[in-house]
Amino acid sequence: MIKFIDAKTPLSIQVHPSNSLSKQRHNSLGKNEMWHLMQAEENAELIVGFN
């Protein structure tokens, strides 16, 4: 799936379980996600990588 997001305001926090946690709790896979930033304002911030 590909989405184009034109975010003029802060986005919601996205939380996806890992494959191991999903397998343990729901017998399914987690969700991988990738973002490619095409343009950003000067001094824009992207906070990622919390486990």
Kindly report, residue by residue over 5-51, the tens digit of the pLDDT.
888 888 888 777 888 989 999 898 887 778 888 888 899 888 777 66
pLDDT in the model for residue 42: 93
- Name every residue whose Cβ is closer than 8 Å to that of residue 4 and which is 6 or more positions away in sequence: none
**pLDDT score recorded for residue 43:** 92
Task: Parse the chain into domains and list their residue ranges.
Answer: 1-51
Distance CA 30, CA 48 (A): 17
Query: Tell me, what's the pLDDT at 51?
Result: 60
Scan for tokens 């305001």, then name that residue.
Answer: 9
Contacts of 16 (CB under 8 A, 6+ apart): 30, 31, 32, 33
